Amino acid sequence: TPPRVVVVGAGFGGATAARCLAAGGIDVTLVEASERYVACTGSNAVVVGLRGIEVQTFRYDALGRALRLVRASAEAVDPAASWVRLGDGTELAYDRLILSPGIDLRFDAVPGYGAEAAEAMPHAWKAGEQTVRLARQLATMPDGGTVVLSAPPNPYRCPPGPYERASLIAHFLKVRKPRAKLILLDAKDTFSKQKLFEAAWAKLYPDVLEFVPLAAGGGVSEVDPAGMIVRTDFAEYKADVACIIPPQRAGRIAGIAGCADRSGWCPIDPVTFESRLVPGIHVIGDAAIAGAMPKSAFSANAQAKVCAQAVIDLLAGREPESPRLINTCWSLVAPGQGISIAGVFRPTDGLLADVPGAGGVSPLDASDAVRAQEAAYGESWYRTITRDVFG
Ligand code: FAD
């Protein structure tokens, strides 16, 4: 029989890997729990009413025509016997397994912030109902009100994401909610594209956005969703809208499979993305510890291609080649005003490391025309990648 590969998760990583394997003639089964995919990329614009959630929503019909797609939740993995068990009890045997389950939010990390608190204080860090909920709360908040947004400690999905969200919320308040304020609490002191974001905030939102880094007391110590209170060690904030983005870990099935270490994330070999903990299982996308590569859709897509080729090589008894991977992340600092960061990565001392001198960030003093062009690049990347992945 031809070798069988099972892929769990049809997001940016898993759907890409499955497509590459199918194109390479591998007998691949893609397992996905959700009816539809709702993309996080671009969802910060949904939060402030700049685009509809339908632009973010993709059906699996095209993917289902291109390969064998099973709509089920993967519940268990037996690495010794090499099978995955689905919610209905079906066992899928594999020669190699690829996990791309994305993230789980750690509802045990911030006192007071559990799954229920996320209804009053949405994270909107998994797109869908949460995104729409936060958008509705912002749309209906009073003029002169207070929004509290908390950014998590590293590592987490989409390093520039909280700061893009802060920028767009600040813009929304400036134009729609007179006298309203945004307090951005951060569990860190430094973050992605920081100089660019801070310059944009100083120029565009000086009276709207207050940034409180960790050193100034930005770490959230507790929340009270009933009273809409966010506490730090230094202060207490009463919010009209509170968006709490909690710490994260690899999606649950990665832990069940034994691939997550004590950090909650999955150490991998940077050439093949094979788990360092469980042979025969590969982990890609947000769930993986990919060294200097950020947890992004761009990264997940790039890692999926490298991993699929490595799996094809391993199944054919060939040694996989050492890869080069690229990531680019665009963010909006205001509607139609974009900034970006790009990097090139290669395996170095067992981790994915930056290739020195490659990549970089947008110039700090760019004109509005350049920022507008970057926003357009970001949007066209979104259209290309979602077409590529979901068909
Ligand atoms: P996901 O895309 O989350 O896919 C995981 C899939 O696995 C899901 O469909 C899930 O249903 C499924 N699944 C999980 N467990 C199981 C199971 N046990 N059984 C069956 N199915 C399962 N990235 C960018 O590159 N550019 C951006 O501009 C950008 N903006 C962002 C903005 C925000 C606000 C956020 C939150 C993220 C953003 N990202 C961006 C990050 C990007 O969304 C993620 O990095 C990307 O989705 C990771 O892909 P993945 O395949 O690892 O996980």
* Nearest ligand 1 atom, CA 327: 25
233 Cα–ligand 1 center, Å: 32
Question: Which parts of the chain have pLDDT scores under 70?
Answer: none
> Which protein residue's CA is at the shortest distance from atom 51 of ligand 1?
13
Q: How far is the CA of 383 from the centre of ligand 1 (A)?
A: 16
Residues with CB under 6 A from ligand 1: 8-14, 31-34, 37, 40-41, 43-44, 73-74, 100-102, 125, 157-158, 161, 251, 253, 285-287, 295-298, 300, 329-330
Q: Could you tell me if residue 5 is left (phi over 0), alpha (psi between -120 and 50 degrees) or otherwise beta?
A: beta
Task: Name the pTM for this structure.
Answer: 0.98
- Ligand 1 atom with the smallest distance to the CA of 73 is 19
- 10 CA → ligand 1 middle, Å: 9
Number of helical H runs and strand E runs in the chain: 10, 25
Residue type at 321 in one-letter notation: E
* Residue pair 56/390 in contact by the 8 Å Cβ criterion: no
Q: Which atom of ligand 1 is nearest to the CA of 300?
A: 49
Helix pair angle (297-315, 12-23), 10° resolution: 30
Q: How far apart are CA 66 and CA 56, in angstroms?
A: 21
Q: Mutation test of ligand 1: which of 150, 157, 191 has the most ligand atoms closer than 8 Å to its C-beta?
A: 157
CA 132 to CA 145: how far, in whole Å? 20
Closest C-alpha to 353, from 273, 270, 287, 267: 270
Amino acid at 301: N
Q: Which atom of ligand 1 is nearest to the CA of 295?
A: 45
pLDDT of residue 196: 98
Token pair in block for residue 33: 């729990």
Q: Give pLDDT, residue 2.
A: 85
CB 13 within 8 A of CB 305: no
Pick from 35, 40, 43 the residue to mutate for probing ligand 1's pocket: most ligand atoms within 8 Å of its CB: 40
pLDDT the model gives residue 1: 78
HSE at residue 140, side-chain half, CA atoms within 13 A, is 6
- Protein residue with least CA distance to atom 35, ligand 1: 40
Q: Which of 16, 41, 48, 282 gets mutated to test ligand 1 (max ligand atoms within 8 A of its CB)?
A: 41
301 close to 325: Cβ distance less than 8 angstroms: no
User: Of ligand 1's atoms, which has the minimum distance to the CA of residue 304?
Assistant: 51
Residue with tokens 């020195």: 356
E runs forming strands in 40-180: 57-59, 68-71, 74-78, 83-86, 91-93, 96-99, 103-105, 146-151
DSSP string, 247-291: -EEE-HHHHHTT---TTSSEEB-TTT-BBSSSTTEEE-GGGEE-T
Q: Which atom of ligand 1 is nearest to the CA of 31?
A: 20
Alpha-carbon distance of 74 to 256, in angstroms, equals 10
**CB distance 30 to 66 below 8 Å:** no
> What is the distance, to the nearest Å, from the Cα of residue 390 to the centroid of all Cα atoms in its chain?
17
Residue 116 Cα, ligand 1 centroid: separation in angstroms?
22
3-state secondary structure of 209: strand
